Amino acid sequence: MNHPMKVLTPAEMGAVDRATIAAGIPGIILMENAAHRVVEFIAERFAPVSVQRIVVICGKGNNGGDGLAIARILQVRFQPKMLRVVLICDADELTGEAATNLAMLHAAGIHERRGFDGDMRTATLVVDAVLGTGLEGAARGEAMDAILAINTAFPLAKVVAVDIPSGLAGGSGTPPGDFVRADATVTFTAPKICHAMPPACNLMGELRVAPIGSAASLYDDDEKIRLALITPQSIAPLFAPRAKDSNKGRFGHVLVVAGSRGKSGAAAMVGMAALRAGAGLVTVACPESVLPQIALQCPELMTEPVAETSSGSIALAALPRILELAGTRTLVALGPGIGADKDTREVAWQLFGELDKPLVMDADGLNAVAGTRWNMPQHLRILTPHPGEMARLTGRSIDEIQADRITAARTLAESGVTVVLKGERTLVAFPDRRVWINPTGSPALAKGGTGDVLCGMVAALVAQFSSGNDPDDTDRAIAGAVYLHGLAGELAAEKLGEQAVLATDLFESFGEAIRGITHAPDLL
């Protein structure tokens, strides 16, 4: 079964390249393979290449060496209408494989230029091979001049970046200076953090990840590489056709503990989302005064009344009944709309500590355990905070959380919980320090109720798949719910516009989103 695609730091990528060379594949072959992958992408997207007017702009490092090889292959294979190669340094500054590729370019009858000529303004395609992922800080000097030229001097051209748009660094922080505005980026072996995390991930254009010869064993190791990108292929088995003799008992029974007076919608959305995401049965346990509204909103949900406070929240006296109900269910989804009464917070805290079943916690449930210390949980605990809830859980400011979301999620997960840190590029962090990045989502999801929907979806997928023989099933189920939720948000926004989407509109996009997952082309 496919696993999420590993995401590497620039240092890890360098180590993979060195190990590949040590294993017997020379660096010049890796560079040649990288060039072929870029040329293949160009041939797919810009056919016929023979009519294109192409400018390849090369720096003095390995990225520039890639560009020199790309120019040679383009000329030999396609003989474009125009091909110009611009080198932003003196030829004698090139070393290693880059110098070898310059000599090979000359052998093929192509000579570089040292500056930009007027006829280049008519280019229809620019290949950016100025700077790679090893850049630290802002681009300077002739590299910056080249970046500015790419952005302004080619009004007719599409831009394909080699490995990364020049000026962006391999990390995920805010670009320190100007950078190439690329229409597409071809990177090699595996995505780097910049390809996977905002803001840089939004500046790549179309992303292609291409193999160039490194063995997967060099980087596909959970013990060494802890960061990965959720792909459709890694979760598609969750949405495979069901057996013909299926029955509702095979797909889990979710107990939703949610809602209070005035917040029946939260409980209903969690329950509806769990049903829509495939749970066989869903029961909502909530204060008795709330049950009629839930039944009206979703008659398919079963309901169980529990003791309530005078304000219409779950009373501490309800705890034994909730534990009794949980005993015959697959897992519990807890928190949306339960309120902040002292009794209710105590119920949430005790369920977190005592429940011998998996527990998905969101919203008021998270607030109930915020600021407390807990022992390492003995059973699965999945927390789904937005940045504000994450700040309360960790005692850090929202700005601190947002400055390094990966570290924040990973640190909380090390306390024995699985963390779904919501936001742009939602993260799934596991107790063993693995973090999976979700590439789907939309600003349409920035609206009340969408978190309740995600809570129900996570519960439903875990209920269906956490009892299988594959130890990765539970992790994949959580990731599948997050990916499906984000993709449904994208599809709903396409139909209705980002501002108009309601949380319940996501349900109408589940089917199309599932088909998109099961029929998605491979990123590689």
Q: H/E/C letters for each residue in 406-447?
A: HHHHHHHHCCCCEEEECCCCCEEECCCCCEEECCCCCHHHCC
Q: Is the pLDDT score of 139 beyond 90?
A: no
Average pLDDT over residues 31-38: 98
143 three-state secondary structure: helix
The segment(s) of the chain belonging to CATH 3.40.1190.20 are 245-518
Phi first, then psi, for residue 195 (nearest 5°) are -80, -20
**Which of 376, 336, 381, 375 lies closest to 355, judged by CA?**
381
Least trusted range by pLDDT, from 174-178, 212-216, 503-507, 517-521: 174-178
The segment(s) of the chain belonging to CATH 3.40.50.10260 are 25-225
Report how far residue 98's alpha carbon sits from residue 126's, in angstroms, rounded to the nearest whole number: 19
- For domain 245-518, give the CATH number: 3.40.1190.20
**Which of 112, 116, 70 lies closest to 92, judged by CA?**
112
| pLDDT confidence of residue 224 | 84
CA 174 to chain centre: 18
Q: Is the pLDDT score of 176 beyond 80?
A: no
Beta carbons within 8 Å of 47's beta carbon, 6+ residues apart: none
The DSSP bridge partners found for residue 207 are: 185
Q: Encoding tokens for residue 408?
A: 């924040």
pLDDT 10s digits, 213-237: 999 999 988 888 999 999 999 999 9
Q: Is the pLDDT score of 76 beyond 90?
A: yes
When pLDDT is cut at 50, 70 and 90, the band that residue 361 belongs to is very high
Least trusted range by pLDDT, from 177-186, 278-287, 455-464, 466-475: 466-475
Q: Is the pLDDT score of 117 beyond 80?
A: yes
Q: Is the pLDDT score of 172 beyond 70?
A: no
- The CB density around residue 332, as the number of other CB atoms within 10 Å, is 26
Report how far residue 131's alpha carbon sits from residue 144's, in angstroms, rounded to the nearest whole number: 10
**Which of 154, 91, 108 lies closest to 128, judged by CA?**
154
Report how far residue 445's alpha carbon sits from residue 422's, in angstroms, rounded to the nearest whole number: 10
When pLDDT is cut at 50, 70 and 90, the band that residue 138 belongs to is confident
CA 264 to chain centre: 32
Is 3.30.420.40 the CATH number for 25-225?
no
| pLDDT confidence of residue 54 | 98
pLDDT > 90: percent of the chain: 88
Average pLDDT over residues 120-145: 89
Across the chain, what does the average pLDDT equal? 94
DSSP state of 54: E
